[in-house]
């Protein structure tokens, strides 16, 4: 059995991913201390937690913009990668769910094979669509509002007040945290626990039962990234 390597994660995506990961973990930990200071004291002071939270929030918001710019403008693969197609919705979702929740346990292979311009299975597409196009923008936006309550007071009032804004930010952040657990766990479902993690570090994914090794460098044309 030989390995077929495909270049799945270009450098900009990997930089964005790990920056985002670091930012979101920092946000979750500092956010926990900010909301529950009596119980969580990971960081030296409350002010440190606030400063780190604000900084990480800006980093995540900027990295989100970077991600959007890369996939939409540079690679031009955003719609193909993130938006489920009709077949994904009618059959793909069901097929993938059956795999994860049933056939996986009997050793069946994953019905989806990642390709540079079709990285995600239908379930991933649906989840990432919600995460990247709804939750991330909303949590960033509510965070930006909360960082600028005084200058944006009128907008805060239009939204319905600080409490609604805070509640929304908190519940969206909880949703992201919940997704983080599932995301990390699903990343271990490859042939080996690190099989899916490795491409996000090196860029290359190994596919079994293939002969050729296709080398594609970081300057691949946009449609293959």
Using CB under 8 A, list all residues that contact another protein: 34-38, 45-47, 50-51, 54, 100-101, 104-107, 147, 149-150, 153-154, 156-157, 160-164, 166-167, 170-171, 173-175, 177-182, 184-185
Our CB check for another protein shows the closer of 10 and 122 to be 122
- Shortest distance (Å) from residue 12 CB to another protein: 28
Of the pair 61, 156, the CB lying nearest another protein is at 156
Rank residues 118 and 207 by Cβ distance to another protein and give the closer one.
207
Closer CB to another protein, 13 or 131, in the complex: 131
Q: How far is the CB of 183 from another protein (least distance, A)?
A: 9
Provide, rounded to whole angstroms, the least separation between the CB of residue 37 and another protein.
Answer: 4
Measured from the CB of residue 62, what is the shortest distance to another protein in angstroms? 19
For residue 28, the minimal CB distance to another protein (Å) is 10
Q: Which residues contact 43 (CB under 8 A, 6 or more apart)?
A: 29, 30, 33, 49, 52
Among residues 150 and 212, whose Cβ is nearest to another protein? Answer: 150
Q: Whole-number minimum distance, CB 87 to another protein, in Å?
A: 25
Go through 38-68 and write b for each residue having 16 or more CB atoms within 10 A of its CB, e for each that does not.
Answer: eeeeebeeeeebeebbeebbebbbebbeebb
Query: Could you write out the three-class secondary structure of the chain?
Result: CCEEEEECCCHHHHHHHHHHHHHHHHHHHHHHHHHCCCCCCCCCCHHHHHHHHHHHHHHHHHHHHHHHHHHHHHHCCHHHHHCCCHHHHHHHHHHHHHHHHCHHHHCCCCCCCCECCECCCHHHHHHHHHHHHHHHHHHHHHHHHHHCCCCCHHHHHHHCCHHHHHHHHHHHHHHHHHHHHHHHHHCCCCCCCCCCHHHHHHCEEEEECCCCCCCCCCCCCHHHC
Smaller CB separation from another protein, 3 or 175: 175
């Amino acid at each position: 059995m030989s390995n077929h390597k495909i270049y799945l994660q270009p450098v900009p995506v990997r930089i964005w991913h790990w920056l985002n990961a670091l930012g979101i973990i920092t946000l979750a930990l500092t956010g926990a201390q900010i909301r529950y200071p009596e119980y969580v004291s990971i960081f030296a002071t409350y002010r440190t937690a606030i400063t780190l939270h604000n900084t990480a929030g800006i980093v995540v918001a900027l990295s989100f913009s970077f991600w959007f710019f890369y996939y939409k403008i540079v690679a031009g693969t955003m719609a193909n990668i993130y938006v489920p197609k009709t077949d994904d919705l009618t059959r793909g979702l069901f097929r993938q769910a059956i795999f994860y929740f049933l056939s996986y346990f009997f050793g069946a292979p994953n019905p989806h094979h990642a390709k540079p311009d079709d990285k995600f299975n239908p379930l991933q597409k649906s989840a990432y669509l919600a995460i990247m196009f709804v939750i991330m923008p909303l949590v960033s936006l509510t965070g930006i509002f909360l960082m600028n309550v005084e200058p944006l007071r009128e907008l805060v009032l239009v939204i319905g007040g600080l409490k609604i804004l805070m509640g929304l930010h908190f519940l969206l952040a909880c949703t992201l945290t919940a997704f983080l657990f599932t995301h990390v766990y699903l990343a271990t479902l490859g042939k080996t626990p690190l099989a899916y993690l490795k491409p996000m570090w090196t860029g290359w994914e190994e596919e079994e039962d293939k002969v050729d090794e296709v080398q594609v460098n970081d300057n691949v044309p946009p449609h293959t990234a």
